[in-house]
Amino acid sequence: QKEVEQDPGPLSVPEGAIVSLNCTYSNSAFQYFMWYRQYSRKGPELLMYTYSSGNKEDGRFTAQVDKSSKYISLFIRDSQPSDSATYLCAMRSQAGTALIFGKGTTLSVSS
């Protein structure tokens, strides 16, 4: 079992839809959870960062972490065509030196 599992999709939604992206993980030591967005032929850019459990909201984006279930989510409200990208979850432990990434979910929002 990989440390971080993420459904690669692709996920296609109409403009204005609510999008839910998810990752599961196996390492209970993970404490720092991130979502990166990657456009085609570009490097990943940090979208959301959450420490430990709980929710964090930033505009149309909400990140949730449920450590008891080892499950993290990213919700996108009122999705836009400009949200079309690959979304990568990433996490690390307190002692870890590197982020461990999921494979990424490709999202397409049609107008």
Partner 1 sequence: GAGVSQSPSNKVTEKGKDVELRCDPISGHTALYWYRQSLGQGLEFLIYFQGNSAPDKSGLPSDRFSAERTGGSVSTLTIQRTQQEDSAVYLCASSLAGVIGNTIYFGEGSWLTVV
Which parts of this chain interact with partner 1 (CB under 8 A)?
A: 4, 6, 8, 32, 36, 41-46, 49, 51, 88, 90, 94, 97-104
Of 26 and 78, CB closest to partner 1: 26
Of 43 and 59, CB closest to partner 1: 43
Q: Judging by DSSP bridges, how do beta strands 85-93 and 71-76 pair with one another? A: unpaired
Q: Judging by DSSP bridges, how do beta strands 105-110 and 54-58 pair with one another? A: unpaired
Say if residues 71 and 6 touch (Cβ distance below 8 Å): no
Look up residue 33 and give its amino acid.
F
Of 37 and 79, CB closest to partner 1: 37
Task: Give the DSSP letter of residue 39.
Answer: -
Minimum CB distance to partner 1, residue 93 (Å): 11
